[in-house]
Amino acid sequence: MGCAFCKSKTDPDYKKADELQPYVSDRGKIVSRGRSGLCSRHQRRLAQAVKRARYLALLPYTERVER
């Protein structure tokens, strides 16, 4: 299959929250490497980008759960 970021020769960017959204679960957790299909290098960079985007309020920390 291959890493999506390796194929496009890009890195995850915290400013592009719409690109990061597929790698965040419904509950707001970062998806594991096995499910995302990323290489270890880009998985680490993705985690860093998601954490930065959360800190800057570009991505939510958690999704609102209705009970």
CB neighbours of residue 39 within 10 Å = 15
Q: What is the mean pLDDT of residues 7-30?
A: 93
What is the CATH class of 4-55?
few secondary structures
pTM, rounded to two decimals: 0.88
Return all residues near 43 (Cβ < 8 A) that are at least 6 apart: 33, 36
pLDDT digits (tens, 9 = 90+) for 38-56: 999 999 999 999 999 999 9
Residue 1: predicted pLDDT: 61
3-state secondary structure 24-55: ECCCCCECCHHHHCCCHHHHHHHHHHHHHHHH
